[in-house]
Amino acid sequence: SMLLVLSWSFQVPRQSTRQAALLQAAIDKTEQEWQQILSPEQYYVLREAGTEAPYSSRLNSVKEPGVFVCAGCGAPLFTTSTKYDSGTGWPSFFAPIDNVAVKASIDFKLVVPRTEVSCATCNGHLGHVFDDGPNPTGQRYCMNGVAMDFRSNDKHPESASMVSERTSASPYRLDALQILPVVMINGIMGSLFFNSFVTRLTETGIQSPIDALPLFPAIYFGVLAVQACNKLKLT
């Protein structure tokens, strides 16, 4: 069946011609080449958009200061400073290192729209981002641990320094695409309940309090949609 996927890409920072050529050579691989360098579990998640079992990743327990990088290409994605325990069983973060580390796209693979997160460098699937995270972003980047590797700041000071410079130069800001699925879901649900209420009102009228019940969830979902729209101010 055909899957609807709306993609949104971020601009990659400028690099020298030589750096760009080396990076392109590192990530411009055939699927057969990816299968050779990735484990079966990594290939399933990164290249086939699979999902690892919850509580299966060793990265869940990592608290040491460091950088989480893409297991496919080594590009830096997240830091321990934005990691938190979401209780879901997958490594979770409230923000990537900046707006060019990952890219977002809306997928309808489970019918309900979700915001998929991929490595902006090699397009490897990482997980999804949800609108129920902690402050200051309110986002939960729910990532597959097998799709990432961890580099401690002590053992990789050069990586830590580079990530710190990127974060300072371009602080992370919410992307409107992350908010769109929440607006869509709540807007659709609110519309369905409101249409049910209007149908009863026009066909039979309000005969009892029960006939007005659809109005309450309509208002509830409408408020959630408006609250999500208000987050666009943070983008």
73 catalytic residue (yes or no): no
| CA 114/CA 116 separation, integer angstroms | 6
* 234 secondary structure, DSSP code: G
Q: Which of 151, 149, 150, 143 is nearest to 52 (CA)?
A: 143
The count of C-alpha atoms lying within 13 angstroms of the C-alpha of 82, restricted to the half-sphere facing its C-beta, is 26
| CA 22/CA 25 separation, integer angstroms | 5
Go through 142-151 and write b for each residue having 16 or more CB atoms within 10 A of its CB, e for each that does not: bbbbbbbbbb
73, 122, 142, 229: the active-site residue: 142
My answer on whether omega of the bond before 136 falls inside 30° of 0, hence cis, is yes
Which residues are known to be catalytic? 142
